[in-house]
Each structure stands twice: as structure tokens, then as C-alpha cells.
């Protein structure tokens, strides 16, 4: 592989160095493009061909269906690690020792109390508010209750901000759900594990002891691990770009939550269930909806199918499909929605339209099914995604700040009017 790329514009030839990653990915370093070519830029809407940074956190190969955090295969992490171990590895680069993990968990628990005034903000939301709107607002509100900005050069300050958000965020998630379901706001228990505590905070009723079902706990642990990072996706890029202005960690996370909300990103798990409900209400005819999905004059898309980067299969979907089967079997769930999901999956896997375009079920096709079986309301699905993605966002924000990345500021090609005279309002 050569180490330079040449670009010819008219008579002029420009040379740019190639950058090679540890997995042999190659990028053309165009940092000097504008200055050497007298203002020429690249255009790449959606940034499908543009690397915004060099990162040592997550490797994914969409063609081969590979996903690794810090070099560890997602399959192995989902099988052998806990969500908190994965969070530690993402944020600090290495899997924790037993002592490091215990200290990390103890520190997180010690910071898990949310200022009681946050309740007042939550109370002011109408019950009809979407949980993602509430979560992004409450995360942003944490900034007001924790005003000192993080000195990123201080390891201690960085660590404190990280354990603080990892402690408080699950409380906000649980409170968001409890607000919707009318349950009193609570705290979990310091003696529970991180994921057990999340379950307790979400589901415990005031007059009943909450017993953890280990199969559901395992499935939730896996779901959170599978969602924990996905390199430079829409919400993560948003966190990095918001943070690149030196906005604080909580404010940058709040921006990421808003980006995650959309149905083409994290909102897809909600959209999957809404689509299945709609198909059921319309008589359960999956063939009709397959035809709609293929009709170019119909805006309908099969939610939960296709992925921006995985073009053969989504490795997370393979893992979570197995967990979904286990949860449904354990809970003895018989749900017509699941039959519709299985029908669509089978038809799509055998349909040339989907096969030719390499459109396979993605992780969100199955995550919604598990969340529904767990009794989590549909509107909360994307909030659960945010809970899983939190360590990835933190790791990426931290890396961006420690690498001293410049403020994110893309360029454009202007296509509007040329200079024209101002007309006074009487003459328009
Ligand atoms: N249903 C029907 N057709 C589809 C679908 C779908 N779900 N997804 C893509 N296609 C078709 C497109 O119409 C296009 O067809 P054409 O080549 O004939 O024009 C072709 O497949 C390629 O589609 P693109 O939109 O170019 O694919 P892209 O990679 O840009 O988009 C995306 C990926 C946004 C995920 C898309 O597949 C989609 O909308 N899927 C449904 C939403 C969804 O599940 N999103 C979750 C993503 S996973 C996550 O965020 C964790």
C-alpha cells in the first residue's frame, strides 16, 4: 500500500498522506486540502466516506459483521462480561481487575443520589411527554446541579464526573419510566449489582418485594453491552461535536440523547413495535407490508431491517435473537406481535429485494421484542438504548477531549442567491 494519495485538479497535482489504522483501514488525510488548493473542500452528505477522528475505542467491520470494544469481540463480551466491566473497559481502555471493578461500582453507588429538586423538574412534565424528551432535559438539568466544569487534565476530576453520571443516569431512566406509569419515585439498593439495581428502580412496586428473574437480568445485561458503543454513529458524533466546543460532559450527553431519539437511529426499536402493532391492527397480513416496503412509491420501510454499516449481518442481532428466544420461553410469552415479527423475519430473509440489498434484521428488531416481554413500555425502549450507550458516549467524549480535538466545524458549498440589492418592504 502506498503512503500518499494524489489528487489532480486541472493541471495541479496535490499529495496527501494516507493514514492507516491497526486493522488496516486506510484514510486520506486531507487536513491541508483547503489551504493548498485555494479553498477546495470535499462534499460527503451523511459523512459516509468521512472519518471525523482517529479512535482507539471500537472497531467495526460492516462487511464482515465484526464488532469489538477495545479489541474484545462483542460475542465474548456478551457471553462472559457484565455491563459494568464493559463500561469500565470502554472508558478506561482495559478490562478492570476485581479490585478496580469493586471500587468503580462503589464510587458509582456513592454518587447515585440525584438532587431532590430534579424531582420538581420531572413533576412539571406532562404525563404525555415522550420519555426521551424528559431524559434529555433531565440530563441537561444535571449540569445546573453540578455546575463546576470538568478539568479534563485532572484524572481525578474526570473520574469523578464519570462515576457521577454513571450513578445518576439510571435513576433518571427509572424515574422517567415511573413518572409515565404513575409509580412513586424511588432509589434502588446499594447492595444490588448495577443492572439488578436498574431493574429494581424501574419495576419495584411500593407494596411488594421485587424478585430478580436471572434470565431477564442476563438478557438486559447483554442488551446493554450490545448497545454500549458503536463508534462514530449519529448520537456519538453528536456527543463528540457538542463536546468539541468544550461543552461539559452532561450537556454533551444530553445532545447525544436527542440525536438518538430519531426513528432512523435509536428510535428504531420503538418504531419496530409500533409497526408490528399497526400490522396486527390491520389484520396481521405480513405479505401486504412486505409489498409496501418494496414499493418505491410508498414511504413505508420495514423498521428493524437494514443498517447503515452492517451490510451482511448485524453481529449484535445474532446474539440478541438467542437471548430473545430464552426470555420468551422462560416467561412463556404467547404474543401475536411475535408471530408477526417471526413472519416478517422469515419472509425478508427469503425475499430477493431484501437479500439483494443485504437488508437483515438489526439489533433493534429483537431488542424491542425483549423489552416488551420484560414489561417495559414501548416509549421507554429508546431510553433503554440510551442507558446502554452511556459508557460509549462517555468514552468517546473523554477520548475527544484528551486528544485535544479541534472544535467540529464542517464546511459547505453555498448554492443560494448571489449578491443582490436590498429591496425596501414597500417595493417587495
Ligand atoms: N425497508 C425497505 N427498504 C429498505 C430498508 C427497509 N428497512 N432499508 C433500506 N431499504 C432499501 C432502500 O430503499 C434502498 O433501496 P434502493 O437501492 O432500491 O434505492 C436500499 O435499501 C439502500 O437503502 P439506504 O437508505 O441507502 O441504506 P442506508 O444504509 O442509507 O440506511 C437505514 C440504513 C437508515 C438503517 C435503513 O436501512 C432504514 O431506514 N432502516 C429502517 C430503520 C431502522 O431499522 N433503523 C435502525 C438502524 S440500527 C440502529 O440505529 C441501532
CA–CA dist 86, 342 (Å, integer): 31
Give the Cα separation of 413 and 428 in Å (integer): 28
For ligand 1, whether the C-beta of 198 sits within 6 Å is no
Long-range (24+ apart) CB contacts under 8 A made by 24-32 are 26/1, 27/51
Please check the confidence at residue 234 and state whether its pLDDT lies above 80. yes
268 to each of 254, 261, 278, 378, 383, how far by Cα in Å? 19, 9, 15, 11, 12
307 is catalytic: yes
Beta bridge partners of 19: 27
Judge if the beta carbon of residue 265 lies within 6 A of ligand 1: yes
**Mean of pLDDT values over 274-278:** 92
Pairing of strands 66-69, 72-73: antiparallel
The pTM of the whole model exceeds 0.85: yes
Q: What is the mean pLDDT of residues 370-375?
A: 88
> What φ, ψ does residue 156 adopt, rounded to 5°?
-65, -45
Say if ligand 1 is within 6 A of residue 260 CB.
no
Three cell numbers written together for 333: 410469552
Task: Of 335, 361, 338, 336, give the one whose Cα is nearest residue 348.
Answer: 361
Residue 149: pLDDT over 80 = no
Residue 89: predicted pLDDT: 98
Residue closest to 50 by CA, chosen among 20, 27, 19: 27
364 a catalytic residue:
yes
- What pLDDT, on a 0 to 100 scale, did the predictor assign at position 190? 85
Give, as one character, the DSSP assignment of residue 65: T
Please state the rounded mean pLDDT for residues 87-115. 97
What residues contact residue 147 under an 8 Å CB cut-off, 6+ apart?
none
Task: Report how far residue 206's alpha carbon sits from residue 184's, in angstroms, rounded to the nearest whole number.
Answer: 8
Q: What is the pLDDT confidence band of residue 200, given thresholds at 50, 70 and 90?
A: very high
Could you report the per-residue pLDDT of 39-65, keeping only the tens digit for each?
Answer: 999 999 999 999 999 999 999 999 899
Q: Quote the pLDDT of residue 338.
A: 82
Cβ of 308 below 6 Å from ligand 1? yes
* Closest ligand 1 atom to Cα of 385: 51
pLDDT band at 302 (very low <50, low <70, confident <90, very high): very high
For the CA of 365, the closest atom of ligand 1 is 44
Is 362 a pocket residue for ligand 1 (Cβ < 6 Å)?
Answer: yes
Name the closest-CA residue to atom 26, ligand 1. Answer: 308
Secondary structure class of 159 (helix, strand, coil): helix
Residue 402, judged by CB atoms within 10 A of its CB (0-12, 13-18, 19+), counts as exposed
Contacts of 356 (CB under 8 A, 6+ apart): none
Residue nearest to atom 29 of ligand 1 (CA): 308
Which of 23-32, 117-126, 263-272 is the least confident region? 263-272
- Please report, for residues 17, 53, 364, 387, the alpha-carbon distance to residue 406 in angstroms, rounded to integers and kept in the order given: 20, 10, 33, 28
364 CB less than 6 Å from ligand 1?
yes
CA of 241 from ligand 1 middle (Å) equals 25
Q: Considering Cα of 400, then 254, then 249, then 200, what sign does the dihedral take?
A: negative
Predicted confidence band at 188 (pLDDT cuts at 50, 70, 90)? confident
Task: Give the Cα-Cα-Cα angle 180, 181, 185 (nearest 5 degrees).
Answer: 85
Amino acid at each position: 500500500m502506498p503512503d500518499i494519495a494524489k489528487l489532480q485538479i486541472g493541471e495541479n497535482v496535490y499529495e496527501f498522506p494516507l493514514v492507516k489504522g491497526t486493522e488496516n483501514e486506510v484514510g486520506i488525510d486531507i487536513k491541508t486540502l483547503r489551504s493548498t488548493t485555494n479553498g477546495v473542500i470535499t462534499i460527503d452528505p451523511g459523512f459516509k466516506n468521512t472519518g471525523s477522528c482517529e479512535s482507539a475505542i471500537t472497531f467495526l467491520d460492516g462487511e464482515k459483521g465484526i464488532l469489538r470494544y477495545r479489541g474484545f469481540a462483542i460475542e465474548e463480551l456478551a457471553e462472559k462480561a457484565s455491563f459494568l466491566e464493559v463500561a469500565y473497559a470502554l472508558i478506561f481502555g482495559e478490562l478492570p481487575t476485581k479490585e478496580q471493578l469493586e471500587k468503580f461500582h462503589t464510587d458509582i453507588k456513592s454518587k447515585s443520589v440525584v438532587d431532590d429538586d430534579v424531582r420538581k423538574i420531572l413533576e412539571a412534565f406532562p404525563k404525555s411527554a415522550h420519555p426521551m424528551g424528559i431524559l434529555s432535559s433531565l440530563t441537561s438539568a444535571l449540569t445546573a446541579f453540578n455546575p463546576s466544569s470538568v478539568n479534563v487534565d485532572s484524572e481525578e476530576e474526570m473520574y469523578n464526573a464519570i462515576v457521577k453520571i454513571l450513578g445518576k443516569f439510571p435513576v433518571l431512566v427509572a424515574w422517567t419510566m415511573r413518572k409515565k406509569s404513575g409509580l412513586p419515585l424511588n432509589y434502588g439498593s446499594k447492595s444490588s449489582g448495577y443492572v439488578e439495581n436498574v431493574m429494581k428502580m424501574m419495576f419495584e412496586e411500593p407494596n411488594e418485594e421485587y424478585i430478580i428473574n436471572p434470565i431477564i437480568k442476563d438478557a438486559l445485561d447483554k442488551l446493554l453491552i450490545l448497545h454500549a458503543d458503536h463508534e462514530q454513529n449519529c448520537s456519538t458524533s453528536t456527543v463528540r461535536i457538542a463536546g468539541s466546543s468544550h461543552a461539559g460532559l452532561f450537556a454533551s450527553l444530553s445532545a447525544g440523547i436527542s440525536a438518538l431519539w430519531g426513528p432512523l437511529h435509536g428510535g428504531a426499536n420503538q418504531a419496530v413495535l409500533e409497526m408490528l402493532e399497526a400490522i396486527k391492527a390491520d389484520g396481521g397480513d405480513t405479505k401486504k407490508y412486505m409489498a409496501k416496503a418494496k414499493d418505491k412509491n410508498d414511504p413505508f420501510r420495514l423498521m428493524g431491517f437494514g443498517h447503515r454499516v452492517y451490510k451482511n449481518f448485524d453481529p449484535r442481532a445474532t446474539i440478541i435473537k438467542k437471548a430473545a428466544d430464552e426470555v420468551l420461553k422462560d416467561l412463556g410469552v404467547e404474543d401475536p406481535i411475535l408471530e408477526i415479527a417471526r413472519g416478517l423475519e422469515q419472509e425478508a430473509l427469503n425475499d430477493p429485494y431484501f437479500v439483494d440489498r443485504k437488508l437483515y434484521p438489526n439489533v433493534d428488531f429483537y431488542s424491542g421484542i425483549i423489552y416488551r416481554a420484560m414489561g417495559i413500555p414501548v416509549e421507554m425502549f429508546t431510553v433503554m438504548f440510551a442507558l446502554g450507550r452511556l459508557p460509549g458516549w462517555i468514552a468517546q467524549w473523554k477520548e475527544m477531549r484528551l486528544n485535544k480535538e479541534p472544535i467540529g466545524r464542517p464546511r459547505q458549498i453555498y448554492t443560494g442567491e448571489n449578491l443582490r440589492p436590498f429591496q425596501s418592504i414597500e417595493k417587495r
